[in-house]
Amino acid sequence: MLQITLLPARSDNYIFLGLDTATGFRFVVDPADAALVLGALQGGTLDAILNTHHHDDHVSGNLALKAATGCTIIGPAADRDRIPGIDRAVAEGETVALGASVAVVMDVPGHTRGHIAYYCAESAALFCGDTLFALGCGRLFEGTPAQMWAALKRFRALPAETRIYCAHEYTESNLRFAEHLLPGDAALTAYGAEIRAKRAQGLPTVPPLMGQEARTNPFLLADAPGMAARLGLAANAEPVAVFAEIRGRKDRF
Q: Which is nearer to Zn ion, 55 or 247 (CB)?
A: 55
**180 has catalytic annotation:** no
Q: Which is nearer to Zn ion, 56 or 161 (CB)?
A: 56
Are 170 and 180 in contact by the 8 Å Cβ rule? The answer is: no
250 binds, among Zn ion, Fe ion, none (CB under 5 to 8 A by kind): none
The residue from 54, 55, 215, 250 that contacts Zn ion (CB under 5 A) is 55
Alpha carbons within 13 angstroms on the beta-carbon side of residue 66 total 17
Stretch that binds Fe ion, among 54-62, 148-156, 187-195, 212-220 (CB under 5 A): 54-62
Kindly name the residue from 20, 47, 79, 111 that is annotated as catalytic: 111
30 binds, among Fe ion, Zn ion, none (CB under 5 to 8 A by kind): none
The residue from 79, 107, 130, 169 that contacts Fe ion (CB under 5 A) is 130
Stretch that binds Fe ion, among 51-59, 203-211, 225-233, 242-250 (CB under 5 A): 51-59
Site string for Fe ion, 71-110 (x = CB under 5 A): ----------------------------------------
Alpha-carbon torsion (204, 207, 208, 214), positive or negative: positive
Site string for Zn ion, 129-148 (x = CB under 5 A): -x------------------
The residue from 20, 33, 57, 213 that contacts Fe ion (CB under 5 A) is 57
Alpha-carbon torsion (230, 110, 210, 41), positive or negative: negative
Kindly name the residue from 20, 58, 107, 115 that is annotated as catalytic: 58
**53 has catalytic annotation:** yes
**168 has catalytic annotation:** yes
Alpha carbons within 13 angstroms on the beta-carbon side of residue 75 total 25
**130 has catalytic annotation:** yes
> Minimum distance between the CB of residue 13 and Fe ion, rounded to whole angstroms?
6
**55 has catalytic annotation:** yes
Kindly name the residue from 20, 30, 33, 57 that is annotated as catalytic: 57
Q: Which is nearer to Fe ion, 57 or 169 (CB)?
A: 57
Q: Show Cβ contacts of residue 153 under 8 Å, excluding neighbours closer than 6 positions.
A: none
Residue 213 burial class via C-beta count within 10 angstroms: exposed 0-12, middle 13-18, buried 19 and up: buried
Which residues of the chain form contacts with Fe ion (CB under 5 A)? 57, 130
Active site residues: 53, 55, 57-58, 111, 130, 168
Which residues of the chain form contacts with Zn ion (CB under 5 A)? 55, 130
